[in-house]
Structure 1
């Protein structure tokens, strides 16, 4: 896909947050800034970024697909706050070893996996306790 003003706007908006963001949220943000970007265009650009490995995509507990530009291209996992969406990239050597051992024991090869851990970040926990 060639570089476009809309694609640049999608990339820039994703870079501004450390939380996973839905296409609809991203579209609303861009529209509030006066960007003439359609929702279908947002989805199309997000899919290209996912295909290129520039953006991670996960499915939240409610089934909605959300996107995030990660700091590393290396394999990693995410710790995600259920309340504010703040996300921390985590390495998981124990997860990698466990996955390899289970796959080997069952005779599986070419194994891929994703692990997302959901909880409440310290800021949201403190705000909940204060209210």
Structure 2
């Protein structure tokens, strides 16, 4: 007996909730937590559940439309970024983020892969520090 198995679609529906999360993501250049995004939605009058925000963010990460990194404390934060391969320099105080290229890192990763016989290698490098503005605030405190 032949049975047809429904397969999940690779297309992502454009729901009201997804559009609302995308709008919040487009309004900031810095990494934000799911809770911060949820709070912004609520302040804007959107009734989107926190679980929906997490699911939407994960789908956007899976599609390559949003980057996700873990902070020093292990919390996931999200940001809409360019599609080209890059790394981030993130202020651990205010969240200010700069996309950076890392040609030395790229060469090192490729050399390590070759040396150990690996192929199709990917990597993530995130640098956390204190931006100039936060340094000034901390020095005057």
TM-score bin, normalised by smaller chain: over 0.9
Task: Give the structure 1 partner of residue 9 of structure 2.
Answer: none
**2:106 aligned residue:** 96
Counterparts of 2:102 and 2:25 in 1: how far apart (Å)?
Answer: 24
- The question of whether the paired residues in 1 share the 8 Å contact of 2:31 and 2:78 is answered with yes
Q: Which has the larger radius of gyration?
A: 2
Q: TM-score, normalised by structure 1?
A: 0.95
Q: Structure 1 stretches (4+) deviating beyond 4 angstroms?
A: none
Aligned length: 130
Aligned-pair RMSD on alpha carbons? 0.9
Counterpart of 1:39 (choices 20, 39, 50) is 50
Instruction: State which of 116, 119, 125 in structure 1 corresponds to 2:129.
Output: 119
Unaligned runs of 5+ in 1: none
User: Unaligned 5+ residue runs, structure 2?
Assistant: 1-11
What is residue 14 of structure 2 aligned with on the other side? Answer: 3
- 1:55 is aligned to 66
Could you say what secondary structure the match of 1:18 adopts? coil
Following superposition, the deviation at residue 119 of structure 1 comes to 0.5
